Amino acid sequence: MSLPDQGALFGTRYRVIVSTDIGGSDPDDFQSMVHFLLYSDMFDTEGLISSAWGAGRASHILEVIDQYEKDYENLKKHSDNYPTPEYLRSVTRQGAIDIAPYKGYTTSNPGSELIIECARKQDDRPLYILGWGLLEDIAQALHDAPDILPKLRVNYIGGPNKKWGLNAYEYILREFPDLWIIEDNSTYRGWFNGGYMDEDYGNHSFVTEHADGHGALGDYFSKHLGGVIKMGDTPTVTYLMNGTPEIPENDSLGGRFTRVWNRPHRTYHRNTTKGDVVEIFEVIEYVFHGPVQDESDASIFDKPMLQMVVQNQRFDGYYTGNGEYKIRFMPKSVDEWSYEIESDIPELNGQKGEFVSIPEAQENREDKGQGLKNWWADVLEPETAEGEHMGAKTINQWRKIYLDDFAERFNRCL
């Protein structure tokens, strides 16, 4: 158990784009953006993109940059490499606002266009995209410019993000199986679950001692999430700080991952029952049969026509042709599930079903013909689990190291 003397902390400069749902579904992105900006002197930041999801907008990224600007003069005393606030604003873009329809993409947007522009630059280094939200903008960029695929390295915080963005996820999986990607569905939880939490290393005590009162960024950090650390997206940053990014199987401050050749997917042409068992993080696709729509207008395929209601959450379904209507869902925890279909189409409305989810199995990661070339996911060794979260201990074992360093960064704001 050791960290290599490699990574951004040792002078390697990585090209980075952050794709974030900040201000949308998950307020912890505000904390992660503060962290990223405090370390931005170590990276070549080429883009900050507001990704699809809820109320998140590029204005929320700019809000954090405004706090960074207040601390900028103090930060520059410690490093001449901090980017100017003006530069950071110049590379901030609005990405897709809506979740992709069943086909997995829609039309280009400023965020997806920036990904293409950066990937096509004359630079031999790969372009790391830190996926803090949905994959919509990455999917759109790949659809519009497939030639950029070899340049991309995607570190994707999945879990809830994957659950809500399954259409873009499945599009990438199906059409771009050669993409280099880390699918982190549970490892990231080690950032705020487990590890050494005594003294000032607790999720609350660290914020009180080392963030609150430490410049504009520290005060801004402290006011989010009740002054408690979450920062579930930050492991994508620390993965580059101390580790060997091109070899995800090695230890890093952002976790350790394992190669997978297959991502499980199950299709049902009927309503499921409790006798139907799926894995957590497995994609479930339901095919419902109803009236044939007028397909002369292609936009018919982009309009939600039904919803699956699961645990008070709603997931859109789409008409896909020949009288078929499809919805994708993914369970992110071990549980018993029930759902009901709501639709203006009488044949679909009111249908119900159940199923059971169980832990992941190594068997379903083996090669089953998907041909994944560069896909990594959470390790499944029991000793790496923090409760039900597989791989989390590959991060929280380093908690004192990364929080000590984070505290020093907050001190730069004083």
* Phi, psi of 97, deg, nearest 5: -95, -30
Answer whether residue 53 shows pLDDT above 80.
no
Alpha helices in 297-414 (DSSP H): 393-396, 399-411
Please name the amino acid found at residue 273.
Answer: T
How far is Cα 34 from Cα 91, in angstroms, rounded to an integer?
Answer: 17
Under a CB-based contact definition with an 8 Å cutoff, are residues 251 and 394 in contact? Answer: yes
Instruction: Give yes or no on whether 8-262+366-411 and 265-359 have one common fold.
Output: no
Model confidence pLDDT, tens digit, residues 233-261: 999 999 999 999 999 999 999 999 999 99
CATH 3.40.50.2300 is the classification of domain 8-262+366-411: no
Q: Which class for 268: exposed (0-12), middle (13-18), buried (19 or more C-beta within 10 A)?
A: middle
How far is Cα 176 from Cα 382, in angstroms, rounded to an integer?
Answer: 31
Model confidence pLDDT, tens digit, residues 16-35: 999 999 986 667 999 999 99
Instruction: Please state whether the predicted TM-score (pTM) of the whole model is above 0.75.
Output: yes
Count of CB atoms situated within 10 Å of the CB of 277? 12
Q: Which CATH superfamily is domain 265-359 in?
A: Immunoglobulins (2.60.40.10)
Under a CB-based contact definition with an 8 Å cutoff, are residues 392 and 385 in contact? Answer: yes
How far is Cα 348 from Cα 343, in angstroms, rounded to an integer?
Answer: 6
For residue 163, the model assigns a pLDDT of: 96
Mean pLDDT of 207-228: 97
Please state which of the ranges 47-56, 62-71, 158-167 shows the lowest mean pLDDT: 47-56
Under a CB-based contact definition with an 8 Å cutoff, are residues 50 and 58 in contact? Answer: yes
Model confidence pLDDT, tens digit, residues 297-328: 999 999 999 999 999 999 999 999 999 999 99
Quote the DSSP letter at residue 42.
Answer: G
* Beta strands in 290-393, from DSSP E residues, in sequence order: 304-310, 313-321, 324-329, 335-342, 352-358, 375-378
Under a CB-based contact definition with an 8 Å cutoff, are residues 125 and 150 in contact? Answer: no
Model confidence pLDDT, tens digit, residues 264-288: 999 999 999 999 999 999 999 999 9
For residue 25, the model assigns a pLDDT of: 64
Under a CB-based contact definition with an 8 Å cutoff, are residues 70 and 214 in contact? Answer: no
Q: Where are the domains of the chain?
A: 8-262+366-411, 265-359
User: What band does 52 get if pLDDT is binned at 50, 70 and 90?
Assistant: confident
